[in-house]
Amino acid sequence: MMSLVRPELSGIKPYVPGKPIDEVKRELGLETVVKLASNENPYKVPDAVLEAAKRALSEMHRYPDAASYHLVRAIAKKLGVSPDEVIVGNGSEYIIDTLMKVFVSPGDEVVYAVPSFVVYRIAASVMGAKRVEVPCKDYRHDLEAMAEAITDKTKLVFVCNPNNPTGTIVRRDELDQFFASVEGKRLLVVMDEAYFEYAKDPNYPDGLQYFRRYGNVVVLRTFSKIYGLAGLRIGYGIAPKEIVSIYNTIREVFAVNVVAQAAALAALKEDAYVSWVSMKVYEEKKKLYEALSKMGLPYVESEANFVLIKVRDSKLAFEEMLKRGVVVRPTDSFDLPNHIRVTVGTPEENEVFLKALKELLPLLR
């Protein structure tokens, strides 16, 4: 049977998701587990969002609106773009996958940084693309090297900003220079801004400005992170009209379910909640930095809701943390050994994490 499988699919390393809480409880017989492995928002969603989702459940016997009419218009209004410049999908991961389908034929090149979001690699591999992986420099995208890696065969360039798993950003001046150097080239730049709302650095660029300035930019955002809707699966993007049109032609017809559409529509009104979560995470991140510095563990300053920490043995760190009821993410599957990525949780969750970390310090430092 395996001989029938497309040869492009052989050797693709699978995505390793954060270990689910229930699985950890089952396997280790633990009653409480703190999951800091998937960069989720640890706080409850606002009541209005929950109520909207509950109301939508009563419509579950109907197919969703394939065009996500109201949601698309609400996103467009909020971001000051036209509704025919908005795409939505079953998570921004789905949009990444579909963009690959739209643009990449076997042999075309896809450029991205390493370590960065692993889905670029998997989705490019599925299309039989040549993967052009440009190493990060000091945990940051090396945009100069990425621009140099572009050839006539390059179709897509992914810029993950803030980057997962490092939490670092590309600054406005760097991005300006990058766009100046690729201007006029026949390729699409995908700005993956899944953690956009968490970034506080004044030099953090808004991908939308580049979308407006250049004709070949797609900006991806998501409801999974700061809006707290990871479990519902809904992401969105801003793209040139022609791309929106082809995306909508080839995507799954019902790419966003009834509940996700309703919850996202309600979530868009929750500006105060978004600011509150962003500030809370920022404050908690500072406390984590302080504790890590005291422990003498090197970490990377992050503009997102997670922190990358250098450890002696990431597998050991992961397993020992797990035994203490804390799920973190070893970054080996991102091609970054000797590091763990830890999501900023609630103050209580972060305390549990720091307590476990302290106990394990002799093994980790």
The residues that touch ligand PLP, with contacts defined as CB under 6 A, are: 39, 91-93, 117, 160, 164, 192, 194, 222, 224, 230, 235
360: three-class secondary structure by DSSP: helix
Q: Which is nearer to ligand PLP, 194 or 364 (CB)?
A: 194
Q: Which of 251, 3, 9, 5 is nearest to 128 (CA)?
A: 9
Closest CA to 191 of 225, 216, 173: 216
- Give whichever of 72 and 360 is closer to ligand PLP, judged by the CB atom: 72
Q: Which of residues 134 and 160 has its CB atom nearest to ligand PLP in the complex?
A: 160
Query: Which CB sits closer to ligand PLP, 95 or 356?
Result: 95
The answer for residues whose C-beta is within 8 angstroms of residue 218's C-beta and 6 or more apart is 99, 188, 189, 190, 191, 211, 237, 238, 239, 240, 243
- The whole-angstrom separation of Cα 195 and Cα 48 is 23
Residue nearer to ligand PLP on the CB measure, 17 or 337: 17
Closest contact distance (angstroms) between CB of 303 and ligand PLP is 12
> What's the closest the beta carbon of residue 355 comes to ligand PLP, in angstroms?
26
Which helix (H) or strand (E) segment is 340 a member of? Answer: strand 339-343
Shortest distance in whole angstroms from residue 230 CB to ligand PLP = 6
Contacts of residue 41, Cβ cutoff 8 Å, sequence gap at least 6 = 225, 226, 227, 228, 230, 277, 305
What are the percentages of helix, strand and coil residues in the chain, rounded to 5? 45, 15, 40
Residue 224: CB minimum distance to ligand PLP, A: 3
**Of 117 and 299, which CB lies nearer to ligand PLP in the complex structure?**
117
> Please, which residue, 198 or 273, has the CB nearer to ligand PLP?
198
Q: How far is the CB of 235 from ligand PLP (least distance, A)?
A: 3
Radius of gyration from C-alpha coordinates of the chain: 20
Q: Which is nearer to ligand PLP, 330 or 354 (CB)?
A: 330
Min dist CB 219 to ligand PLP, Å, is: 12
**What is the smallest separation between the CB atom of 168 and ligand PLP, expressed in angstroms?**
12
- H-helix or E-strand containing 275? helix 271-295
| Rounded Cα–Cα distance for residues 263 and 229 (Å) | 8
Q: Are strands 329-330 and 339-343 parallel, antiparallel or unpaired?
A: antiparallel
Minimum CB distance to ligand PLP, residue 152 (Å): 27
Q: Which is nearer to ligand PLP, 155 or 341 (CB)?
A: 341
Q: Is 190 helix (H, G, I), strand (E, B) or coil?
A: strand
User: CA dist 121 to 52, 113, 162, Å?
Assistant: 36, 10, 18
End-to-end CA distance of the chain: 47
To ligand PLP, the closest distance from the beta carbon of 31 in angstroms equals 27
Shortest Cβ contact with ligand PLP: which residue? 91
